[in-house]
Amino acid sequence: MSDQTDNDILLSVRDLVVEFPTRHALLRAIDGVSFDVRRGEVLGLVGESGAGKSITGAAIIGLLEPPGRIAGGTVTLDGQRIDGLPLDEMRKVRGKKIAMIFQDPLTSLNPLYSIGRQLVETIQTHMDMSESEARARAVSLLEDVGIPAASERLDAFPHEFSGGMRQRVVIALALAAEPELIIADEPTTALDVSVQAQVIALLKRLCADRGTSVILVTHDMGVIAETANRVAVMYSGRIAEIGPVADVVHEPHHPYTVGLMGAIPDLDTEGDRLAQIQGAMPRLDRLPEGCAFNPRCPRRFEPCATKRPELMPVGASLASCFLHDPAYADLLPREAAE
Partner 1 sequence: MIAFVLRRVFQSIIVLLIVGLIAFLMFRYVGDPIESLLGQERTFEDIANLRERLGLNDPFIVQYFNFLLGAVQGQFGISYRAGVPVSQLIAERLPATLELAFVSGLFALIGGVALGVYTALRRKGVIATTIMTASLIGVSLPTFLIGIALIWVFAVELQWLPSNGRGEVVAIGGWTTGFLTSSGRASLILPAITLGLFQMTLIMRLVRSEMLEVLRTDYIKFARARGLSARAVNFGHALKNTLIPVITITGLQLGSIVAFAIITETVFQWPGVGLMFINAINFVDIPVMATYLMLIAVFFVLVNLIVDLLYFAVDPRLRVERPSSK
Q: Binding residues for partner 1, per CB under 8 A?
A: 61, 63, 87, 91-96, 99-100, 102-104, 106-114, 121-122, 125-126, 157, 159-163, 170, 173-174, 176-177
Q: Taking the complex as a whole, how short is the minimal distance between the CB of residue 110 and partner 1, in angstroms? A: 5
Strands (E), the chain: 9-21, 26-38, 42-46, 69-77, 80-81, 98-101, 181-185, 213-218, 230-235, 238-244, 312-314, 317-319
Q: Taking the complex as a whole, how short is the minimal distance between the CB of residue 319 and partner 1, in angstroms? A: 32
Hey, how many other C-beta atoms are within 10 angstroms of the C-beta on 313?
12
AA identity, residue 114 = S
Cα–Cα distance, 83 to 62 (Å, whole number): 7
How many residues comprise the chain? Answer: 338
SS3 for 150?
A: helix
Considering the complex, state which of residue 54 and residue 236 has its C-beta at the smaller distance from partner 1.
54
Considering the complex, state which of residue 89 and residue 289 has its C-beta at the smaller distance from partner 1.
89
Asked if residues 43 and 233 have their Cβ atoms less than 8 Å apart, the reply is: no
Closest CA to 45 of 220, 289, 211: 220
Cα–Cα distance, 77 to 100 (Å, whole number): 15
Q: Taking the complex as a whole, how short is the minimal distance between the CB of residue 101 and partner 1, in angstroms? A: 8
Considering the complex, state which of residue 176 and residue 292 has its C-beta at the smaller distance from partner 1.
176
Sign for the CA dihedral angle at 145, 131, 151, 137 comes to negative
Closest CA to 156 of 196, 199, 116: 116
Hey, how many other C-beta atoms are within 10 angstroms of the C-beta on 297?
22
Considering the complex, state which of residue 112 and residue 193 has its C-beta at the smaller distance from partner 1.
112
Q: Taking the complex as a whole, how short is the minimal distance between the CB of residue 314 and partner 1, in angstroms? A: 35
Q: Taking the complex as a whole, how short is the minimal distance between the CB of residue 144 and partner 1, in angstroms? A: 17
Q: Taking the complex as a whole, how short is the minimal distance between the CB of residue 115 and partner 1, in angstroms? A: 11
Considering the complex, state which of residue 22 and residue 107 has its C-beta at the smaller distance from partner 1.
107
Asked if residues 100 and 57 have their Cβ atoms less than 8 Å apart, the reply is: yes
Considering the complex, state which of residue 62 and residue 243 has its C-beta at the smaller distance from partner 1.
62
Q: Taking the complex as a whole, how short is the minimal distance between the CB of residue 103 and partner 1, in angstroms? A: 8
Q: Taking the complex as a whole, how short is the minimal distance between the CB of residue 125 and partner 1, in angstroms? A: 6
Asked if residues 11 and 183 have their Cβ atoms less than 8 Å apart, the reply is: no
- Number of helices followed by number of strands (H, E) in the chain: 11, 12
User: Residue 30's beta-bridge partner residues?
Assistant: 18
Q: Taking the complex as a whole, how short is the minimal distance between the CB of residue 186 and partner 1, in angstroms? A: 12
Considering the complex, state which of residue 34 and residue 108 has its C-beta at the smaller distance from partner 1.
108
Considering the complex, state which of residue 125 and residue 229 has its C-beta at the smaller distance from partner 1.
125
Considering the complex, state which of residue 113 and residue 301 has its C-beta at the smaller distance from partner 1.
113
